Structure 1
Amino acid sequence: MNAPLPAALQFDVHSLARAISSCQASDALPCQFSELQWNALGTYLQPFPLSTGQVLMEQGAHDCTVYFIESGTLSVHHEDEKERTHMATVGPGTVLGEGSFFSQQPRRATVQAASPCKLWCLTTLRFRDLASRHSPIALQLSLAMGAVMARRLAIYPRRAAVT
């Protein structure tokens, strides 16, 4: 699932911080980290580029990685037990994968890049390491992701985005 990093594509955790702080979406990630905290968090995040059309996650897959969106747009498709498809679109300053990250359950939806994207991923193993070394950052990040998940679950069209 890892895409090769094009030579011209540059990643800087402070660009992610700006995307998060300027996001006006209803499911924006409410993180208020200092520059020092972003620097610490950045050592646990891994850059993850996606090309248009590339699949990030598939419904039913057993993967608990969470993704933070710096730039680009992703479409989320969830097929329910009655074979109805529910769709949502997510963009910069939001997060994907928080449902499986917390529940350790299979992915609830398929996510595909609708445009070129710059994402940052955080695995559960790296999060545990973050929590042991920088527990205040891990706690604030957990609360922020939980808030996003709660907002998405409360708004019917956004429920598909809980992956």
Structure 2
Amino acid sequence: MSTSIQELCRAVAQNTSYDAFAPAFNAQQWETLGSYLQAFDLSAGQVLIDQGAHDRTLFFIERGALSVHMLGSQGQMRLAILNPGSVVGEGAFFSRLPRSANVVATGAARVWRLTAIRFAEMSNRQPSLALELSMALGAVIAKRMVNKPKRVAVT
């Protein structure tokens, strides 16, 4: 496994949160997934996702934390913090609806991006990998929707 994807793999394995992203990938599958992802760094305060944007990109958090903000019905901001090994952007990825919240780096962070186009390529070339990824993402959404405070994290 390359050093770069190995760090994301380690973050995912160490994530013990209720809504953890937990795909059943072996080392080779992680490596293959990594070939469809693009890593990039965020600085403190940098916006990753804009509420209302039409974008289906999915993000995996390797390090740092992301703050999820959403305007509530009374104008208040609701907040969730996503930590290393977690995923964000899964709501719009599946629904094709506009982004439901803003996501901002709370400090220096590294995330991995999977665009809808790259996922379509993976689905054609690596269908079992795409299926396992989809099932793991579906589990994250299901857990976040059952846990009312975590619903805001479905972006």
- Is this a same-fold pair by TM over 0.5? yes
Cα drift, residue 85 of structure 1: 1.9
For residues 72-151 of structure 1, the aligned pairs below 5 Å read 72-151=64-143
1:12 partner SS: helix
Q: Does the 8 A contact of 1:21 with 1:31 survive in 2? A: no
Distance 2:147 2:21 in 1: 16
Work out the number of aligned pairs and report it.
153
Identity of aligned residues (%): 46
What is the identity, as a one-letter code, of the residue corresponding to 1:28? A
Residue 28 of structure 2 corresponds to which residue in structure 1?
36
Paired position in structure 2 for 1:60:
52
CA distance in 1, matches of 2:78, 2:128: 36
Which digits, 9 at most, give the CA deviation of each residue in 1:53-91, with x for residues without a partner? 101011101111000001100100011343232110001
Superposition misfits of 4+ residues, deviation over 4 angstroms: none
Residues 1-40 of structure 1 mapped to structure 2, 5 A cutoff? 12-40=4-32
Tell me which of 143, 146, 150 is aligned to 1:154.
Answer: 146
Looking at structure 2, the residues matched to 117 and 131 of structure 1 have their Cα atoms a distance apart, in angstroms, of 28
- TM-score, with normalisation over the residues of structure 2? 0.95
How far the C-alpha of 1:14 sits from its partner, in A, is 1.1
- Take 1:121 and 1:86, find their aligned partners in 2: how far apart are those partners? 25
Q: Give the structure 2 partner of residue 4 of structure 1.
A: none
By how many angstroms is 1:22 displaced? 1.1
